[in-house]
Structures are given as structure tokens and as C-alpha cells.
Amino acid sequence: MSFVTGGLLVNESVEVARLHVPGEAWEDTLRRAIAEGLATLPKAASRRRTLREIVNRLSQLNEDERAFLVERADRAEQAALLWVATCRAYRFVREYAIEVVCERYLSHRLDLPPETFDHLLEAKAEWDDGLAAIAPTTAHKLRQILFRMMREAGIVDRARRIQTASLSRALRTLLESTAPADLAVFPGVASERP
């Protein structure tokens, strides 16, 4: 649950993805990104934390997905692919996307109150000591960042209403070939595979 840094960080993520050499250790990419100053935050610690978060997410994408992110994707496709990477990096985010957002969408309850985050966190904390140890202020910050990421990915609008995901044919085809189960993190999109 270390996603308290920024939102999807689309611009920075694409730059770090460009910097990554296939087969290279992600720690090496991180060191180069820090050295080249790819994050523009004023404090060095904040830059390192942000770049570490970006590397954590990008490392969840395979080479085909990273190449698509850098070479072919438009802004909406980049945001959607980074949403997938975030859902892969953080089990809680994935579970929230599927168990809360998509379930509400399917039941035509398109409003997404912030309390839905709190309820899922409380339910999961009963079984996970790490989640149980999250301070209320941290939980509030995590909720804010998650809602920001969902807005940036087009999952919800500014009024926190769930939007039907609109994936391009190219991105949908890519995800169906690499990880069809990841389509479940987008409201209104389901894999056509059994």
C-alpha cells in the first residue's frame, strides 16, 4: 500500500519506460532515472520515492506492454495501461476495482462514495495485519490517491460516478493476449475468452 505518491504519473512513467532497457534490472533503471532527474519534485527524497513507485508499477508490465506504452499508445491508452500496472502492483487496488467498482457498475449503482474504500479496507483488515496497521490518516491519503488515479484512468469522473471503460481495439487486443483477467479492472469491459 505504498501508492501514496502522486496519481498515475503518466508523463513520468512514459519517460522512465523509455529509459528502461529490455532485460535490464529495474534497480539500474531507477538509478539512471534519479541521476537524469526524470521527476521534477523539489526535494530529492520525494523524487526518489516517486521514481521508485513508477518503477514498481512499470515492472509489472511485460515487454510488449511497455513497448505499446512508449511507442504506440495515446494518452488514454497510456493511462489505462498504467491503471493495469497499478492494479497488478497492489492487490488491494485490484480488489477494489473488481469487488467494489465493477460490482457497483454491474448493479447500476454508478455513484462511488469514498466510504466504499473505507468499508473494503476494514473488511480486508480483518484478515490482513498489514492492512489493520494502517493509520487513519494514511488510509485517508490512500483513498484520495486511489480516487485520483481512477479519475486519471477514466474509471470515474470528477463527481465520482463510475464510467463505462472505453478501451481501444489495440489495447484490448494486447491485454487479451497478455493478461485477459486484467480486463476485469475496467467497468463494462470483460474478456471475450472463457
Those residues whose C-beta lies under 8 Å from the C-beta of residue 129, and which sit 6 or more positions away, are none
Domains in the chain and their CATH numbers? 10-185 (1.10.3540.10)
Say if residues 8 and 79 touch (Cβ distance below 8 Å). yes
pLDDT (tens digit, 9 = 90+) per residue, 62-111? 999 999 999 999 999 999 999 999 999 999 999 999 999 999 999 999 99
pLDDT at 191: 47
Position 96 scores a pLDDT of 97
C-alpha distance from residue 46 to each of 38, 90, 115 (Å): 12, 20, 29
C-alpha cell at 179: 493478461
Quickly state the pLDDT bin for 165 (edges 50, 70, 90).
very high
Q: In whole angstroms, how far apart are CA 152 and each of 10, 101, 131, 148, 163?
A: 9, 15, 25, 6, 12
Top pLDDT among 193 and 187 is at 187
Q: What's the one-letter identity of residue 63? A: E
Given a cut of 90, is residue 193 above it in pLDDT? no
pLDDT of residue 194: 39
